[in-house]
Amino acid sequence: MPSAAAVHGPSAIADVARAFHELVQKASLIRELESSSRRLAALSARVTQAQEEDRARIARELHDGLGQALTAVKMDLSAAGRQLGPEATATRRRVVDARKLIDESLEELRRLVFDLRPPALDTLGLAAALEAYGREWQERTGVTVTVEAERFEPRLPFEVETALYRICQEALANAAKHAQASRATIRVAREEDRVGVVVEDDGVGFDVAASTESENGPVGVGLLSMERRAADLGGVFHIESAPGRGTTVRVSVPLHREGQ
């Protein structure tokens, strides 16, 4: 009479073979998913860089083209106003009004160029750009902004400076628009081989889980944008908030990406 091992041996071997085959297939699928994830991350980073380059180009064209044209028109109006006789009161008033309109347009253009790509971010670095933006935002919204940013030597990579600047920009926008904050603080400092950013406000706060789960949440899109920018750099993003307790955004990204 054959033993139990002999009877069940081939079946057991077949079961092991099938289990091994399934494990191989799962491992292959995992590798494909990881590869796809890396490709998507690289594509996202390239898209972000292309967007920033376009922003910088448009800002330069607006400043050098439209900005200079408006300045020239303003100078021509000033010259024409000086040539008017004392009897041309109505015409002089129209010239003054036109110059005032041009001044307002130039100020709006300056803000637009600043939002597209602040010159300080290219010339002076992240800390100076954040300080300038903090002053600009405070004047525009009335929200008191304090910036405590370390000046890195050598400067941080282009993509790191840009992403952290945009994250702070989005956090301040949320503080003014959604949180109804009166004060906000930005802190940027080195954390060994990483850069840490903290943006705090004293606003009304919100339910983080409800906002991120709802497609129509008041700050859902902004949160996703900040999280994506941090993830593109291999970093981590965390937000702390609750109704009536303000909001704190924390981001930590490596100084250098793997492979750079």
Domain boundaries, the chain: 1-117, 125-254
pLDDT of residue 4: 47
Q: Which residue has the tokens 């904050």?
A: 181
pLDDT in tens, 64-113: 788 888 888 888 888 888 888 888 888 888 888 898 898 888 888 887 87
pLDDT of residue 28: 76
The Cα 211–Cα 94 span in angstroms is: 51
The CATH architecture annotation of domain 125-254 reads 2-Layer Sandwich (3.30)
The Cα 180–Cα 202 span in angstroms is: 8
The two tokens of residue 222 are 């902004």
Say if pTM beats, i.e. exceeds, 0.75: no
The pairs formed by 63-68 with CB atoms below 8 angstroms and a separation of 24 or more are: 63/109, 63/113, 66/109, 67/106, 67/109, 67/110, 67/113
The answer to whether the peptide bond before residue 86 is cis (omega within 30 degrees of 0) is no
The Cα 150–Cα 83 span in angstroms is: 53
- For the CA atoms of 149, 165, 161, 249, the dihedral, rounded to the nearest 10 degrees, stands at 70
DSSP result, 64-78: IIIIHHHHHHHHHHH
Pairing of strands 236-241, 247-254: antiparallel
* Regions of the chain with pLDDT less than 50: 1, 4-7, 218, 259-260
The Cα 27–Cα 33 span in angstroms is: 10
The Cα 185–Cα 169 span in angstroms is: 12
pLDDT of residue 145: 94
CA 161 to chain centre: 10
